[in-house]
């Protein structure tokens, strides 16, 4: 079996496999995807009988971790033709692409799994829960009547709005989150095209002429809102945005919000908090050095990684209280210092480790000297 990375002009050859495996996706969406997303992504394939029978696609996203920015890749379209399944093709594609990202010193990769069990054997673990729920539309001046001055003007964004949307999102996300995709004018141009391919767009929310919120929307059988991003204190805008979109008081799903919904509680029909994004650590020095220390320290950690050989071994972590430095040190096979790459992924993203992760109390206490990147906003799904 040979894994091959396609040349850019070959990317369109994978559309037929996508259409067969992901039959629910519309022609409009695939037209967008194979025009916009495949213009700068990477596609790894396995070919049999002169056809592409298995693929994995890596879509680039500049990512901010605290004060550092990196290029990362979102894994999507992991697909194998049905009659070629159970031959190890997916595993070969994953291992090859993980090694390629590691060699570029990318700190981590992420995906939205069709099933958690598919990716756990490759040391992916959940790192992000998406908050959301069903929200009723309201044309009231103020849903809770606590903020009668909250009168919002809502309109659909055009390309000329993309720069200020990016500046707004950068400000809000930097204030509230440690990990988020870097928002640029080009990011919002891409998202505008993506939402339009799903019969939607981007909503812009203003109050007194000032931008206070935005949201993505799409429509299949009914409308849905994704990532309503609002300034603190402007939660009242969401029910009004739903009313603007639906032209009525129906409840629709709004997912990926950054809101304190207590002030609009009566407009929220149900809340949900679902794990949706899994990640895997890749080049460890880059990730460690992007984190913030809680104190001064010097300790070692011995990592086991069954896929990325460069991660196997002992790392010395040192901090003067302001930054973290990483160096390799001689491997001592000390069980008290040992942690799996999956367990390290969970701890450094602020999640509990699996029950089967055997972690010494001494190492756990040492790792607590590092502030995890646990405040995450990752709603990218394509």
- Domain with residue 258: its CATH number is 3.40.630.30
Whether the pLDDT of residue 148 is over 60: the answer is no
The yes-or-no verdict on residue 140 having pLDDT over 80 is no
Mean pLDDT over residues 270-298, rounded? 98
Between 107 and 142, name the one with better pLDDT. 107
What are the tens digits of pLDDT across the range 312-368? 999 999 999 999 999 999 877 788 999 999 999 999 999 999 999 999 999 999 999
Q: Is 323 helix (H, G, I), strand (E, B) or coil?
A: coil
User: Tens digits of per-residue pLDDT, 53-78?
Assistant: 999 999 999 999 999 999 999 999 99
Q: What is the pLDDT of residue 331?
A: 74
Residue 175 near residue 308, CB atoms below 8 Å: no
The predicted pLDDT at position 151 comes to 81
Q: Are residues 194 and 289 in the same domain?
A: no
Are both 263 and 237 inside the same structural domain?
Answer: yes
The predicted model gives 234-247 an average pLDDT of 95
pLDDT of residue 144: 45
CATH code assigned at 291: 3.30.1050.10
Looking at the structure, tell me whether residues 209 and 263 fall in a common domain: yes
Q: Are residues 142 and 265 in the same domain?
A: yes
Please indicate, yes or no, if residue 116 is contained in any of the structural domains.
no
> Whole-angstrom Cα distance, residue 304 to residue 283?
13
pLDDT in tens, 370-380: 999 999 999 99
Residue 268 and residue 51: Cα distance in Å, rounded?
Answer: 49
Summarised one tens digit per residue, pLDDT across range 93-136 is: 999 999 999 999 999 999 999 999 999 999 999 999 999 999 99
| pLDDT of res. 356 | 94
Number of H helices, E strands in the chain: 10, 20
Say if residues 103 and 307 touch (Cβ distance below 8 Å): no
Does residue 121 fall inside a structural domain? no
Q: Quick one: 336 and 295 in the same domain?
A: yes
**Taking residues 225-252, what's their average pLDDT?**
94
Give the count of alpha carbons within 13 A of 293, CB side only: 17
What's the pLDDT band for 1 if we cut at 50, 70, 90?
confident
- Check whether 143 has a pLDDT greater than 80: no
The verdict on residue 58 lying in a domain is yes
Q: Give the domain range for residue 72.
A: 3-111
In this prediction, residue 27 carries a pLDDT of 97
Domain count, the chain: 3
Residues 288 and 265 occupy one common structural domain: no
- Confidence at residue 330, expressed as pLDDT on a 0 to 100 scale: 85
- pLDDT reading at 147 higher than 60: no
Residues 14-38, mean pLDDT to the nearest whole number = 98
Within a domain: 224: yes
Q: Mean pLDDT score of the chain, rounded to an integer? A: 96
* Domain shared by 234 and 301, yes or no: no
Do 136 and 264 share a structural domain?
Answer: yes
- Is residue 123 included in any domain, yes or no? no
Give yes or no for residue 20 having a pLDDT over 80.
Answer: yes
Point out the domain boundary residue: 219, 247, 275: 275
Residues 235 and 320 grouped into a single domain: no
Alpha-carbon distances of 341 from 63, 197, 308, 333, 357, rounded to whole Å: 21, 38, 9, 16, 10
Residue 282 confidence (pLDDT) above 50: yes
Q: Report the percentage of the chain scoring pLDDT > 70.
A: 97
Q: Note whether residue 379 is domain-resident.
A: no
Let me know whether 107 and 49 are in one domain. yes
Answer yes or no: do 162 and 179 share one domain.
yes
Separation between Cα atoms, residue 315 and residue 334, nearest integer Å: 12
> Residue 296: inside a domain, yes or no?
yes
Q: Are residues 105 and 50 in the same domain?
A: yes
Would you place residue 303 in the very low, low, confident or very high pLDDT band (cuts 50, 70, 90)? very high
* 381 in a structural domain: no
């Amino acid at each position: 079996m040979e894994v091959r990375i396609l040349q850019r002009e070959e990317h369109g050859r994978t559309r037929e496999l996508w259409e067969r495996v992901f039959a629910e996706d519309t022609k409009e969406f695939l037209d967008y995807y194979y025009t916009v997303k495949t213009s700068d992504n990477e596609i790894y394939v396995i070919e049999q009988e002169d056809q592409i029978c298995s693929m994995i696609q890596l879509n680039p996203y500049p990512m901010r971790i605290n004060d550092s920015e990196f290029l990362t890749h979102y894994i999507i379209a992991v697909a194998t033709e049905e009659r070629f399944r159970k031959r190890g093709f997916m595993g070969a594609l994953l291992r090859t692409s993980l090694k390629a990202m590691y060699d570029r010193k990318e700190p981590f990769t992420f995906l939205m799994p069709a099933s958690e069990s598919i990716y756990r054997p490759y040391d992916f673990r959940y790192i992000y829960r998406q908050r959301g729920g069903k929200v009723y539309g309201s044309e009231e001046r103020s849903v809770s009547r606590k903020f009668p001055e909250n009168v919002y003007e809502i309109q659909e964004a055009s390309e000329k709005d993309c720069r200020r949307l990016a500046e707004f999102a950068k400000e809000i996300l930097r204030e509230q989150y440690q990990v988020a995709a870097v928002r640029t004018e080009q990011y919002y141009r891409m998202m505008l095209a993506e939402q339009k391919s799903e019969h939607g767009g981007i909503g812009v929310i203003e109050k007194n002429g000032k931008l206070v919120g935005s949201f993505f929307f799409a429509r299949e059988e009914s409308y849905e809102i994704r990532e309503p991003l609002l300034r603190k204190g402007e939660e009242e805008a969401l029910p009004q945005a739903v009313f603007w979109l639906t032209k009525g008081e129906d409840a629709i799903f709004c997912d990926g919000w950054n809101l304190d919904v207590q002030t609009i509680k009566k407009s929220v029909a149900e809340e949900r908090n679902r794990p949706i994004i899994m990640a895997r650590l890749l080049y460890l020095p880059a990730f460690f050095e992007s984190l913030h220390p809680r104190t001064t320290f010097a300790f070692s950690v011995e990592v086991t990684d069954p896929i990325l050989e460069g991660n196997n071994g002992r790392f010395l972590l040192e901090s003067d209280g302001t930054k973290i430095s990483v160096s390799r040190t001689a491997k001592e096979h000390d069980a008290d210092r040992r942690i799996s790459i999956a367990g390290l992924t969970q701890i450094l993203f602020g999640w509990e480790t699996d029950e089967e992760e055997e972690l010494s109390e001494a190492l756990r206490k040492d790792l607590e000297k590092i502030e995890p990147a646990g405040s995450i906003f990752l709603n990218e799904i394509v």
